[in-house]
Amino acid sequence: GEDVEQSLFLSVREGDSSVINCTYTDSSSTYLYWYKQEPGAGLQLLTYIFSNMDMKQDQRLTVLLNKKDKHLSLRIADTQTGDSAIYFCAESSGSARQLTFGSGTQLTVLP
């Protein structure tokens, strides 16, 4: 079945850029997503990219998609302490209303 993989932990200093990486196996993925989970809360959609795009920018967030390598990344510029959270990569194949989530990357922002 489909698989989505992420590294478990990332630490950065406040003000630096964070890059969270994700790889997936489903070549028919239509949309790829980044969700953010703050402590004690549910997941919240942060941004998404359609599979025919290779980059999407939204304020401090940049999503890069390498469809050939099935690699997705999320770059957070000028990382703040409020960005500390778990970030989940997810993919869907469009027709299915189900997402396949990665294990999540715990981002810790150090002062």
Partner 1 sequence: DAGVIQSPRHEVTEMGQEVTLRCKPISGHNSLFWYRQTMMRGLELLIYFNNNVPIDDSGMPEDRFSAKMPNASFSTLKIQPSEPRDSAVYFCASLGDRGLTGELFFGEGSRLTVL
Q: Residue 45 corresponds to which tokens in the numbers above? A: 């959609």
Nearer to partner 1, 44 or 57 (CB): 44
Grouping H, G, I as helix, E, B as strand and the rest as coil, residue 82 is helix
- Rounded CA-CA distance 47/29 in Å is 16
Choose between 44 and 81: whose C-beta lies nearer to partner 1.
44
Cα separation, 39 vs 54, whole angstroms: 31
Binding site for partner 1 (CB under 8 A): 30-31, 33, 40-45, 48, 88, 90, 92, 94, 97-99, 101-104
**Nearest distance in Å: CB 16, partner 1:** 27
Residue 65, token pair as written in the block: 């998609």
Tokens of 48: 């998404």
CB of 97 to partner 1, least distance (A): 6
Q: Find the shortest distance in angstroms from Cβ 106 to partner 1.
A: 11
